[in-house]
Amino acid sequence: MKNPTTKQAKQADEQARQAELTQPQEITRRRLLGTASAAGAAGLVAGGAGGAYGYAATTGGDPLTSVGSTAVPFHGSHQAGIVDPAQATGHLIAFDLAPGAGRKGAAALLRRWSAAAETMAAGRTPNGDNQIALDAGPSSLTVTFGFGLGFFAKTGLQNRVPENLAPIPPFSSDALDPRLSDGDLWVQIGSDDALVAFHTLRVLQKEAGDTARLRWQMNGFNRAPGATERPRTGRNLMGQIDGTNNPKPTDKDFAAKVFVSGKSGAESWLNGGSYAVVRRIRMLLDSWDHLPLDRQEMVIGRRKSDGAPLSGGTETTPVDLNKINKDGSLAIAGDAHIRVAAPASNGGAAMLRRAFSYHDGYDQDGTPNAGLLFIAWQADPFNGFIKVQQKLDRADGLSRFIRHESSALFAVPGGCAPGEYVGQRLLES
């Protein structure tokens, strides 16, 4: 026979639990972080700790305590969203400054944007917020700001334009839409929660007010953290593992390749910053899917199953561009993407790729409008993306299956300290 006292205690506990469930609960982003801290503290990462080549810090575990509570600091010597792992959801937005906004209006806007981004990256809600993501943690939110060439003319800062912020030369495979290219101001938003990402987009768009007008917006995605049994390099919409040969923060020359340094005078404001090349690359997926698997692998130069180079080994095995098959043919074909894009084929030129896939529906004939939102980070775009793309444009077998439909280049200032805003060294100098 059960102990009546124990039975009564259980009934009382159940009544208390039911009463608690019926009480209105004020769940805020700050409250979520507080309740998750004990279980999720190990999931918190500092900006740049993981690197863009993987996202071990945001995979696995309880989604509420590891994915939701992961915070990337807004402040630092570099802006967040450059070396941090690419998140599951991304928004890329370009604005043009409104006529008459000038330097004063631009500075006020960057001050508002920086304050809002700092607040949301910490999992807090900005003043006057519409509470879209009220019950969510920061979810690895990053917000990155950049300046296009037109920004400097409209703010009276023509004498501060960096030498490398120049128009990207045309390529023969380009099919660029000017409505989806360029822009005075660029914002990159990334988060592992789609609602947090949209919330951030909405807040920044409202904060723009009459100072800046939307020029274009692109929405992207990646594999969700925890979707694989262990952290893996991402795949693109062609099914290929993409990003294996990205520069790694552990490389001795990583910072020199990615971040601007040592500038004085007119360009000193850019120290700690970088250049972002943004390209919307449509993948001709119907044509690609008609290729047999072995032909797809020859075009890329890697096995589709595990990303290993056709010269042998595993995904991370260095590519042997000199390997010859038994029949005398090159193991890595002469026009294979990894051969033509390799630093060894481009005088050591390299860039940090941090991309999102996109799918914008279907054309009237059923062709998927899908591909890659390509973002390349480098200290010198003319010795990075532009140098490599000039060779890819002429010799890459993959060019038959892709089309570059938009293009932009932005100078991305370094990070800011608490109490400062992004771009302050330029706008208040």
Q: Which residues are catalytic?
A: 242
List the structure tokens of 163. 């030498």
- What's at 286, amino acid-wise? D
CA 92 – CA 234 distance, rounded (Å): 19
CA 305 – CA 317 distance, rounded (Å): 15
CA 414 – CA 423 distance, rounded (Å): 8
How many helices and strands, by DSSP H and E, does the chain display?
Answer: 11, 9
* Contact yes or no for 301/106 (Cβ under 8 A): no
CA 394 – CA 171 distance, rounded (Å): 9
CA 149 – CA 407 distance, rounded (Å): 13
How crowded is the C-beta side of 147, counted as CA atoms within 13 Å? 30
Residues 6+ apart with CB under 8 A from 252: none
* Phi, then psi, of 270 in degrees rounded to 5: -90, -5
Nearest-5° Cα angle at 267, 264 to 268: 50
* Contact yes or no for 121/141 (Cβ under 8 A): yes
* Beta-strand runs (E) in 3-61: none
List the structure tokens of 121. 């990256």
Q: Is the dihedral of CA 292, 304, 194, 201 positive or negative?
A: negative
How are beta strands 89-97 and 185-191 bridged, if at all? antiparallel
How far lies 123's CA from each of 45, 134, 369, 429, in Å? 14, 9, 34, 32
CA 7 – CA 169 distance, rounded (Å): 79
**CB burial readout 135-151, b (16+ within 10 A) else e:** ebbbbbbbbbbbbbbeb
In 3D space, the residue among 313, 351, 305 whose CA is nearest the CA of residue 332 turns out to be 313
List the structure tokens of 23. 């009480």
